[in-house]
A and B are shown apart, each in its own frame.
Chain A
């Protein structure tokens, strides 16, 4: 299975600022996924990122708020823009490998104050 390194592991940010989360995979993967887990809730898919094309966003999520980059087959970033306290969540990246088998990063715990 793939190994994912996700940074930062946690951050406390001021409202109105932006935070960029990075995910590095130890092998080339076609699809990378970004999820959000709000307190006490399930994991909700934000978007799917394919290399060389625009990310595909799920209902309720927009590119202006959550811009995503996917410059190559092993790396992706998610930016949480113009943050408010409602953005306080755990953000996770994930990749699909053979199986189907989905591996997750360790998550970024974001607190907006």
Chain B
């Protein structure tokens, strides 16, 4: 049973536009949600997180929104840049362990 779902395998956006990456979860006991970015041949790099008691967290071009009632979170990247092209993983923490979604490949077109 997949507790963290990223239903879209890929997303393509124009440089300068907004990228919206979505994530759904099923376990209401998760206390933190994190987004990671991964390039080929590298480990995942932490981007931004949000506590389950918050509904928004912002860091520069990255904003994460959490809708607990819908068990849904999204990562907004504004403006998108070609260097943002990578695989993005949504992860949720429960019992000090991370559960990951399958990832979404973001392509930002110049």
Real binding pair: yes
CB-CB under 8 A from A7, the residues of chain B are none
Interface SS of A by simple majority: strand
Complex Cα distance, B100 from A75, in Å, reads: 24
- How many B residues touch A, CB cutoff 8 Å? 22
A residues sitting closer than 8 Å to B (CB atoms) are 1, 4, 6, 9, 31, 33, 41-45, 48, 92, 94, 96, 99-107, 109
Given the interface pairs A41-B102, A42-B101, A42-B102, the reply to whether A96 lies near B43 with Cβ below 8 Å is no
The answer to whether A107 touches B42, judged by C-beta atoms less than 8 angstroms apart, is yes
Interface SS of B by simple majority: strand
The answer to whether B93 touches A100, judged by C-beta atoms less than 8 angstroms apart, is yes
Complex Cα distance, B41 from A109, in Å, reads: 8
Complex Cα distance, B97 from A107, in Å, reads: 18
The answer to whether A43 touches B100, judged by C-beta atoms less than 8 angstroms apart, is yes
CB-CB under 8 A from B96, the residues of chain A are 31, 48, 96, 100
Which of A1, A48, A101, A106 sits near B43, CB closer than 8 Å? A106
